[in-house]
Amino acid sequence: MKPFPFLRSAIGVCLVAAAHQLSAETVWVDTLDLKTAIQDYGTATSKVSLDGNPLMIAGRTFARGFATHAEGWLAIQLDGKARTFSAQVGIDDEVKGKPGGTAEFVVLGDEVKLWSSGLMRLGDAAKTCEVPLAGVKRLELVVTDGEDNNYYDHANWAEAKIETDGATTFATIARISGVPYILTPPAPASPRINGASVFGVRPGSPFLFTVPVTGQRPMTFSASGLPEGLQINAQSGRITGRLAVAGTFAVTLRAENALGRAEKKFRIICGERIALTPPMGWNSWNCFAGEVTADRVKRAADTLVKTGLINHGWTYINVDDFWQNHRGSKDPTLTGPTRDAQGNIQPNVRFGDMKALADYVHELGLKIGLYSSPGPWTCGGCAGSYGHELQDAQAYAEWGFDYLKYDWCSYGGIADGLAADDPKVPSVHWGKGESDLAIAQAPYALMGEALHRQPRDIVYSLCQYGMSDVWKWGDTVGGHSWRTTNDISGTWKSMSGIALAQDKAAPFAQPGNWNDPDMLILGYIGWGNPQPTRLTPDEQYLHFSLWCLFSSPLLIGCDMEKLDDFTLSLLTNDEVIAINQDPLGRQATCVDTVGDVRVYLKKLEDGSVAVGFCNFGRQPAELKYERFAHLGLSGRHTVRDLWRQQEVGTIEAGRDGWPLTIPTHGIVLVKIAPVPVPPAQASATPAPASTKLPAKP
């Protein structure tokens, strides 16, 4: 039997907690430490469903067992002391009426599949799982999303228990995935100006751009060519002010410290288009989900500065769902009026003063975003903007927000003709928007117009999962970015599946319009239960590189206070980020496939190309790449390894093949630039290709 692919990464054994003993022969899994379980939503619960109800599968209740969510994983160290594992598995009845609710339950022993439920749907009777475990050292209980998506996949392992050979205690296992290796060289101590080289602003809007510079502090900043109305603060490097009239302004930015000085050309384009390079920042959803608070948001902002991420261009601090009050939660911090008597949206008590929060973030030189839905309710069931679009846009502008993520969710009920106050309006429902273009566009055009009327620039991010090919019309409703797929979850399968689905939207990427494959799943993520990412280090290199090649908005989704050196190294490679921020604004597409290796190419403003050789296969790939015509290359080129920030030599397209070794689920990311041929040498015989990329450490 094949090892289960979801679990091929190395497993680090960390004995976390001992089980309680029920009898010498039976260990109930619901007595183990379930905190080590990994799942795409919520936390594993003992003896109750994910939402805290009695465990119930197709009308049958169970007193024992545990509940998880696809994609879910729990591992138990057995050391050969168990005889059998048994359980009654199925989808919990609590998700009745919701979309999704399909999963497959899989049992693995020492990475070998021992049992599978097959695809299970809501309403299917519980299936009996009985697995002999003689000699098995490590048991893994896995729930996959059933090959669709993970929506409402509330999955119960009811009556889960292990019969033992005298052992009275077992421990669950925390997973680590591979040994991280850092390629990003440390930034020099002398100043280096990073980040975007072009910036868009509308006439009259407040201007804020913090020049991102690495290097030792203290540092002084200056700029020449700044148009009237703008000034730079010499200590903080922040450019502020307002521009009265449209125009393009060529500016030179300068930074100086005791060790040297740096200079960079910068274009300010004052006109109707903003977000001229993909927005970069942090969003609360992938780590805190419904547990977000103003305090956590402030700490994320503080950390973005303290870790130096701000010096690499990271700018936005985005509050996702759950800053508003909820339609029916019993949590006192989410209970309260959704709007006041005048219809003004009310933040919940976790947030209180939204203006104070925005001021706090701006004081740090950063920008701030938030989230709403065109329906009466957001996806999490909090107050949406339906019927209050202009009023909400005004509130966001008055508070000082710079970014809005606008979700679809309960608008599906409106699209289907339900009244906004109808209690049947579901929180998550696609409705006719999926088939009717005018219905799909209407709520986004309405909010787009409301935002456009505000006297400040608000980046408008459409979050409707790619319905009705949003990339074809997102620009016409005022959008600056749009999600192209369903939510990313924390797995290789989800990330790679999303990556492979991007090409269709690529021609629509341009300055001010970005296809959004969803947030980064690096660092500690976990929708209310942050755990280290399940991606291996190679998968993380591939993930970040691809999002850069795709010109995707880069939104860190992790708990910022748990950033480790490796994750930080992935987020601070200025040459890799420069690919994302390239002013030409093209999106890479797959231009060639060699076995499991897909070759993604992005054209850059300076005439060079960024190329990612991406190995989606399960083995390291060794190849001699020869099909330079697929890359549009002829003649002699220099090759630069972007992660290592090193020149690796030259290639002569059409001559020798180029030897490449690409790790499993990894990437070789290079920049290839033509070598100008001086006329006198044009006919001389070119030297053979000399490029050999360094091997992975």
Counting contacts by CB under 6 A, is residue 304 touching ligand GAL? no
Q: How many residues does the chain have?
A: 697
Report the candidate in 354, 240, 365 with the shortest Cα–Cα distance to residue 301: 365
Contact 117, 106 (CB under 8 A): yes
Contacts of 624 (CB under 8 A, 6+ apart): 657, 658, 659, 660
Q: Report, in Å, the least distance between residue 618 CB and ligand GAL.
A: 29
Dist CA 388 CA 394 (whole Å): 10
Q: Per the residue annotation, which of 92, 153, 407, 516 is the catalytic one?
A: 407
Query: Residue 487 has what DSSP assignment?
Result: -
Compare residues 285 and 360 and give the one whose CB is closer to ligand GAL: 285
Compare residues 41 and 170 and give the one whose CB is closer to ligand GAL: 41
Compare residues 321 and 392 and give the one whose CB is closer to ligand GAL: 321
Counting contacts by CB under 6 A, is residue 487 touching ligand GAL? yes
Compare residues 34 and 379 and give the one whose CB is closer to ligand GAL: 379
Concatenate the DSSP letters of all residues of 334-392 into one string: G-S-SB-TT--B-B-TTT--HHHHHHHHHHTT-EEEEEE-SSSB-TTSBB--TT-HHHH
Compare residues 200 and 380 and give the one whose CB is closer to ligand GAL: 380
Furthest CA-CA distance within the chain = 88
Judged by DSSP in three states, 234 sits in coil
Concatenate the DSSP letters of all residues of 574-618 into one string: HHHHHHHT-TT----EEEEEETTEEEEEEE-TTS-EEEEEEE-SS
Task: Reply yes or no on whether 407 is catalytic.
Answer: yes
Compare residues 461 and 540 and give the one whose CB is closer to ligand GAL: 461
Q: Per the residue annotation, which of 145, 321, 487, 559 is the catalytic one?
A: 487
Concatenate the DSSP letters of all residues of 500-569 into one string: HT-GGGGGG-BTTBEEE---B--SEE-TTS-EE-SS-HHHHHHHHHHHHHTT--EEE-S-GGG--HHHHH
- Residues 341-380, interacting with ligand GAL (CB under 6 A): 371, 378-380
Compare residues 319 and 614 and give the one whose CB is closer to ligand GAL: 319
Compare residues 553 and 612 and give the one whose CB is closer to ligand GAL: 553
Structure tokens at 495: 């990330």
Dist CA 409 CA 445 (whole Å): 16
Report the candidate in 292, 355, 299 with the shortest Cα–Cα distance to residue 324: 292
Counting contacts by CB under 6 A, is residue 426 touching ligand GAL? no
Q: Report, in Å, the least distance between residue 246 CB and ligand GAL.
A: 34
Q: Report, in Å, the least distance between residue 424 CB and ligand GAL.
A: 19
Query: Residue 204 has what DSSP assignment?
Result: T
Q: Report, in Å, the least distance between residue 501 CB and ligand GAL.
A: 15
Task: Reply yes or no on whether 487 is catalytic.
Answer: yes
CA angle 368-279-245, nearest 5°?
A: 80
Compare residues 371 and 386 and give the one whose CB is closer to ligand GAL: 371
Closest residue to ligand GAL in the complex (CB): 379
Counting contacts by CB under 6 A, is residue 407 touching ligand GAL? yes
Counting contacts by CB under 6 A, is residue 516 touching ligand GAL? no
Q: Report, in Å, the least distance between residue 320 CB and ligand GAL.
A: 5
Contacts of 487 (CB under 8 A, 6+ apart): 149, 150, 465, 518
Sequence-distant contacts of 418-424: CB under 8 A, at least 24 apart: 420/375, 420/376, 420/386, 420/387, 421/376
Q: Report, in Å, the least distance between residue 382 CB and ligand GAL.
A: 8
Choose which of 30, 92, 320, 652 interacts with ligand GAL (CB under 6 A). 320
Dist CA 650 CA 639 (whole Å): 6
Counting contacts by CB under 6 A, is residue 463 touching ligand GAL? yes
Compare residues 378 and 569 and give the one whose CB is closer to ligand GAL: 378
Counting contacts by CB under 6 A, is residue 318 touching ligand GAL? no
The torsion angles phi and psi of 690, rounded to 5 degrees, stand at -130, 20
SS3 readout for 384-433: CCCCCHHHHHHHHHHHCCCEEEEECCCHHHHHCCCCCCCCCCCCCCCHHH
Choose which of 285, 316, 360, 471 interacts with ligand GAL (CB under 6 A). 285
Q: Report, in Å, the least distance between residue 214 CB and ligand GAL.
A: 31
- Residues 629-688, interacting with ligand GAL (CB under 6 A): none
Choose which of 321, 402, 582, 641 interacts with ligand GAL (CB under 6 A). 321
Size of the site for ligand GAL (CB under 6 A): 11
How many other CB atoms are found less than 10 A from the CB of residue 63? 10
* Residue type at 62 in one-letter notation: F
Q: Report, in Å, the least distance between residue 40 CB and ligand GAL.
A: 12
Q: Which residues contact ligand GAL (rule: CB under 6 A)?
A: 285, 320-321, 371, 378-380, 407, 409, 463, 487
Residues with a known catalytic role: 407, 487
